Amino acid sequence: MKKIAIAALLASVTLFGADHVIDQKGKTFIPHEITVKVGDTLTFVNSDPFAHNAYTDDEANEFDIGMQAPGTKKTVPVKAAGKFDVECAIHPNMLLEVTAN
């Protein structure tokens, strides 16, 4: 029974990919560059006491998490291979460079 549970867990990890936590702190994405695999997810965690946002204009991976309140987290999937920038609509200097393989 235990072996079956572990096998199922491993299968689900492979199926859904890894989750990568991106902290939003001091008006900075931490880390500010990351390499991921298609099928992984990016989870944005707002650790600042004010709102943030994260979006990309990349055609294949397009997302916009909208207004993200302090202390909240939002997760988006990485859908296609390539390099793309993620920015914050509220703080134009915030930049995350994603490489998806």
C-beta closer to Cu ion: residue 46 or 61: 46
C-beta closer to Cu ion: residue 39 or 91: 91
76: number of Cβ within 10 Å: 18
Which of left, alpha, beta for 76 (phi over 0: left; psi -120 to 50: alpha)?
Answer: beta
Contact criterion met (CB below 8 Å) for 58 and 82: yes
C-beta closer to Cu ion: residue 38 or 95: 95
Residues that bind Cu ion (CB under 5 A): 52, 88, 90-91, 94
Q: Could you tell me the smallest distance in angstroms from the CB atom of residue 97 to Cu ion? A: 16
